Structure 1
Amino acid sequence: MFRVLNKVFDNNQRDVQRIVKTVVQPVNALEEETMKIGNLAEAFMALRQRVQEGGESLDDVIVPAFALIREAGRRSIGKRHYDVQLIGGAALHQGRIAEMRTGEGKTLVATLALALNALEGKGCHLVTVNDYLARVGMEEMGLLYRTLGLTVGLANRDLQPFEKQAAYACDITYVTNSELGFDYLRDNMAQSREQLVLRADSPLNFAIVDEVDSILIDEARTPLIISGAAEKATDLYYVYAKLVKRLQRGEPAEPGKRTEPTGDYTIDEKGKQVHVTEGGISKIERLLSIPDLYSPENMDKAHMITQAIRARELYQREKDYIVNAEGEVIIIDEFTGRSMPGRRYGEGLHQAIEAKEGVKIENENQTLATITYQNFFRLYNKFAGMTGTAKTEEKEFLDIYGSDVLVIPTNKPIIRQDAEDLVYRTRMGKYQAVVQEVAQMHATGRPILIGTASIDTSEQLSELLKAAGIPHSVLNAKYEAQEASIVAQAGRSGTVTIATNMAGRGTDIMLGGNAEYILGEAIEQNFGISRFAPEAEAFIKAISRQDPEAEQLGMKLPGMVPDFIRQAQQLQADTIADRERVRELGGLHIIGTERHESRRIDNQLRGRAGRQGDPGSSRFYVSFEDDLMRLFANDRVVAMMDRLGMDDTQPIEAKMVTGAIEKAQARVEDRNFGTRKQLLEFDNVMSKQRDEIYAQRREVLLGADEDVEETTEGMIADFTEMQLAYHAPTDQAPESWDLETLRTDMIDAMPQLETYDFEALRTMTPADAHAHLIEAVADSFDSRREELSPTMLNSLSRYVLLQVVDQHWKEHLHGMDVLRQGIGLRGYGQRDPFTEYKFEATNMFNDMIDNLKGEVTKFVFRMQFGQAS
Structure 2
Amino acid sequence: MLNAVANKIFGTSDEREVRKLMKKVDAINALEPKIEKLTDFELKGKTEEFKIRFEGGEDLDDILPEAFAVAREGAKRVLRMRHYDVQLIGGMILHSGRIAEMKTGEGKTLMATLAIYLNALSSKGVHIITVNDYLAQRDMEIMRPLYNFLGLSVGVIINGISNEERKRAYASDITYGTNNEFGFDYLRDNMVHNIKEKVQRLHHYAIVDEIDSILIDEARTPLIISGAAEETTHWYNVFAKVVLQLKRSVKTEKIKDKKNTVIPEEDYEDYEVDEKGHNVTMTEKGIKNVEKILNIENLYSPEHVELTHFLAQALKAKELFKLDRDYIINEDDEVIIVDEFTGRLMEGRRYSDGLHQAIEAKENLEVAGENQTLATITLQNYFRMYEKLSGMTGTAKTEEDEFKQIYKLGVVAIPTNKPVIRRDFSDVIYITKRAKYNAIVEKIKELYENGQPVLVGTASIQNSEDLSKLLKKARIPHDVLNAKQHTREAEIIAQAGRYKAVTIATNMAGRGTDIKLGGDPESLALKTAERGTPEFRELVDQYQIECEENKEKVIAAGGLFILGTERHESRRIDNQLRGRAGRQGDPGASEFYLSLEDDLMRLFGGDRLQNMMASLKVEEHEEIRNKFITKAVEGAQKRVESRNFSIRKNLLEYDDINNKQREVVYAQRDLVLRNEDLKDLIISMMKETVEDLIDNALSGDSREDWNFDYLVDNLRDNYNYHVPELYLDMEKNKMKAEIIQDLLDRYNNKEREIGSDQFRDVERYIMLEVLDQRWRENLKNLTELREGIYLRSYGQKNPINEYKIISTDLYNEMIDGIKREVSSFLMKLRFKTEEEMEAEERAQSLQAPHAEIEEAEEVEDALEKAESEMLHVSRKKRRELERQNHKGRR
TM-score when scaled to structure 2? 0.90
Measured at CA, do residues 725 and 380 of structure 1 come closer, stay the same or move farther in structure 2, by a change above 3 Å?
farther
- Partner secondary structure for residue 456 of structure 2: strand
Q: Post-superposition shift, 1:747?
A: 4.0
- Between the aligned partners of 1:114 and 1:196, the Cα distance in structure 2 is 24
Aligned AA (2:356) = H
Greater CA drift, 179-188 or 789-798? 789-798
Aligned AA (2:183) = G
Q: Are the counterparts in 1 of residues 155 and 172 from structure 2 also a CA contact under 8 Å?
A: yes
Query: Equivalences for 1:682-697 in 2 at 5 Å?
Result: 682-697=654-669
- Tell me the residue number matched to 1:828: 794
Q: Are the counterparts in 2 of residues 423 and 652 from structure 1 also a CA contact under 8 Å?
A: yes
1:97-116 deviations in Å (ceiling 9; x for gaps) = 11111001111111111121
- Tell me the residue number matched to 2:544: 572
Measured at CA, do residues 587 and 155 of structure 1 come closer, stay the same or move farther in structure 2, by a change above 3 Å?
same
1:760-789 deviations in Å (ceiling 9; x for gaps) = 542x6x5x6555555554454444443433
- Between the aligned partners of 1:162 and 1:461, the Cα distance in structure 2 is 46
Q: Are the counterparts in 2 of residues 211 and 504 from structure 1 also a CA contact under 8 Å?
A: no
Measured at CA, do residues 461 and 775 of structure 1 come closer, stay the same or move farther in structure 2, by a change above 3 Å?
same
Q: Are the counterparts in 2 of residues 214 and 504 from structure 1 also a CA contact under 8 Å?
A: no
- Between the aligned partners of 1:497 and 1:370, the Cα distance in structure 2 is 39
1:851 has 2:817 as partner: yes
- Tell me the residue number matched to 2:217: 218
Measured at CA, do residues 504 and 376 of structure 1 come closer, stay the same or move farther in structure 2, by a change above 3 Å?
farther
- Tell me the residue number matched to 1:228: 227
Q: Are the counterparts in 1 of residues 458 and 566 from structure 2 also a CA contact under 8 Å?
A: yes
- Between the aligned partners of 2:361 and 2:552, the Cα distance in structure 1 is 54
Query: Equivalences for 1:109-148 in 2 at 5 Å?
Result: 109-148=111-150
Q: Post-superposition shift, 1:194?
A: 2.5
Q: Post-superposition shift, 1:600?
A: 0.4
Aligned AA (1:612) = Q
Aligned AA (1:749) = N
- Partner secondary structure for residue 126 of structure 1: strand
- Partner secondary structure for residue 30 of structure 2: helix
Q: Post-superposition shift, 1:400?
A: 0.5
CA RMSD of aligned residues (A): 2.1
- Tell me the residue number matched to 2:706: 737
Query: Equivalences for 1:343-492 in 2 at 5 Å?
Result: 343-492=349-498
- Tell me the residue number matched to 1:28: 29
1:328-380 deviations in Å (ceiling 9; x for gaps) = 11111010000111111111111111111111111111111111001110111
- Between the aligned partners of 1:823 and 1:805, the Cα distance in structure 2 is 26
- Between the aligned partners of 2:729 and 2:418, the Cα distance in structure 1 is 88
Q: Are the counterparts in 2 of residues 445 and 494 from structure 1 also a CA contact under 8 Å?
A: yes
Q: Are the counterparts in 1 of residues 224 and 374 from structure 2 also a CA contact under 8 Å?
A: yes
- Tell me the residue number matched to 1:11: 13
Measured at CA, do residues 287 and 47 of structure 1 come closer, stay the same or move farther in structure 2, by a change above 3 Å?
same
Q: Post-superposition shift, 1:141?
A: 0.3
Aligned AA (1:29) = A
- Between the aligned partners of 1:80 and 1:480, the Cα distance in structure 2 is 32
Q: Are the counterparts in 1 of residues 490 and 510 from structure 2 also a CA contact under 8 Å?
A: no
- Between the aligned partners of 2:679 and 2:538, the Cα distance in structure 1 is 61
- Tell me the residue number matched to 1:37: 38
Aligned AA (2:52) = Q
Q: Post-superposition shift, 1:749?
A: 3.3
- Tell me the residue number matched to 1:287: 293
Q: Post-superposition shift, 1:382?
A: 1.1
1:331 has 2:300 as partner: no
- Between the aligned partners of 1:205 and 1:312, the Cα distance in structure 2 is 45
- Tell me the residue number matched to 1:60: 62
Larger radius of gyration: 2
- Tell me the residue number matched to 1:749: 718
- Between the aligned partners of 1:685 and 1:631, the Cα distance in structure 2 is 34
Measured at CA, do residues 60 and 449 of structure 1 come closer, stay the same or move farther in structure 2, by a change above 3 Å?
same
For 1:698, which of 650, 660, 670 is the aligned residue? 670
Q: Are the counterparts in 1 of residues 728 and 735 from structure 2 also a CA contact under 8 Å?
A: no
- Partner secondary structure for residue 367 of structure 2: coil
- Between the aligned partners of 2:728 and 2:76, the Cα distance in structure 1 is 84
Q: Post-superposition shift, 1:837?
A: 1.5
- Partner secondary structure for residue 233 of structure 2: coil
- Between the aligned partners of 1:672 and 1:664, the Cα distance in structure 2 is 12
1:422-450 deviations in Å (ceiling 9; x for gaps) = 11101111111111111111111010000
Q: Post-superposition shift, 1:691?
A: 0.8
For 2:499, which of 489, 493, 518 is the aligned residue? 493
- Between the aligned partners of 1:42 and 1:787, the Cα distance in structure 2 is 59
Greater CA drift, 110-119 or 668-677? 110-119
1:96-138 deviations in Å (ceiling 9; x for gaps) = 1111110011111111111211111111111011000000000
Q: Post-superposition shift, 1:90?
A: 1.0
Q: Are the counterparts in 1 of residues 482 and 505 from structure 2 also a CA contact under 8 Å?
A: yes
- Tell me the residue number matched to 2:95: 93
Measured at CA, do residues 773 and 402 of structure 1 come closer, stay the same or move farther in structure 2, by a change above 3 Å?
farther
- Partner secondary structure for residue 299 of structure 1: coil
- Tell me the residue number matched to 1:527: none
1:28-58 deviations in Å (ceiling 9; x for gaps) = 1111111122222221111112213x12221
1:726 has 2:696 as partner: yes
Measured at CA, do residues 292 and 88 of structure 1 come closer, stay the same or move farther in structure 2, by a change above 3 Å?
same
Q: Post-superposition shift, 1:724?
A: 2.9
Query: Equivalences for 1:549-560 in 2 at 5 Å?
Result: none
Unpaired runs of at least 5, structure 1: 524-529, 544-568
Q: Are the counterparts in 2 of residues 323 and 330 from structure 1 also a CA contact under 8 Å?
A: yes
- Tell me the residue number matched to 1:623: 595
- Between the aligned partners of 1:721 and 1:595, the Cα distance in structure 2 is 65
- Between the aligned partners of 1:217 and 1:458, the Cα distance in structure 2 is 25
Q: Post-superposition shift, 1:838?
A: 1.5
Query: Equivalences for 1:65-214 in 2 at 5 Å?
Result: 65-199=67-201, 202=202, 204-214=203-213
- Between the aligned partners of 2:718 and 2:608, the Cα distance in structure 1 is 73
- Tell me the residue number matched to 2:569: 597
- Partner secondary structure for residue 297 of structure 1: coil
Identity fraction in percent: 49
1:399-424 deviations in Å (ceiling 9; x for gaps) = 11111111111111111110000111
Q: Are the counterparts in 1 of residues 489 and 510 from structure 2 also a CA contact under 8 Å?
A: no
Q: Post-superposition shift, 1:266?
A: 0.7
Query: Equivalences for 1:600-679 in 2 at 5 Å?
Result: 600-633=572-605, 635-679=607-651
Q: Are the counterparts in 2 of residues 727 and 738 from structure 1 also a CA contact under 8 Å?
A: yes
- Tell me the residue number matched to 2:687: 717
Query: Equivalences for 1:530-545 in 2 at 5 Å?
Result: 530-531=530-531, 533=532, 535=534, 539=538, 543=541
- Tell me the residue number matched to 1:561: none
The total of aligned residue pairs comes to: 824
Measured at CA, do residues 97 and 2 of structure 1 come closer, stay the same or move farther in structure 2, by a change above 3 Å?
closer
- Tell me the residue number matched to 1:805: 771
- Tell me the residue number matched to 1:553: none
- Between the aligned partners of 2:738 and 2:656, the Cα distance in structure 1 is 41
